[in-house]
Amino acid sequence: MKKDSGTIAPYVAGLLALILFTILGSLTVGTSLIAANRIQAVADAAVVYAHDRSHKKGVPNKNLLSQEVTIFMQLAPSVKRLTSLSYRASTSQEYSSLEVCARFENPLGVGVDSGLICRSSKAKSFLIP
């Protein structure tokens, strides 16, 4: 009876490739989640900042809201790491809404730079009698 003296090198190479792809996939998903949360934080901060400066008697002015959002987007340090930034501000009664779409520049250089991530946020006026 002959002995089979094969090698396990293809098995080990396949296993290493599978581990590598799993790590890279997890890293990309994690980076995407971080980017989405950072863009959401920018949207939340921008709408609160702009809403606070654009309303009178609880009703926001759309023109002032757009101007204040633009000022925030130009000056805030948290916006500096976003590219392809676009935003749209709107008002409805006592609500201010903002939709922000951007690409996140990952400091590690992995993942996310190719996908556009959009997030929206709202602020509401509360009048205290």
Domains of the chain plus CATH, in order, are 9-124 (3.30.1300)
Average pLDDT in the 5-23 region? 90
Residues 43-95 pLDDT 10s: 999 999 998 888 887 788 888 889 999 999 889 888 887 877 788 998 888 88
- Count, in order, helices (H) and strands (E) of the chain: 2, 5
If one counts every other C-beta atom within 10 angstroms of the C-beta of residue 109, the result is 7
Task: Record the pTM.
Answer: 0.75
Q: For all residues of the chain together, what is the average pLDDT?
A: 84
CB proximity list for 23: less than 8 A, separation 6 or greater: none
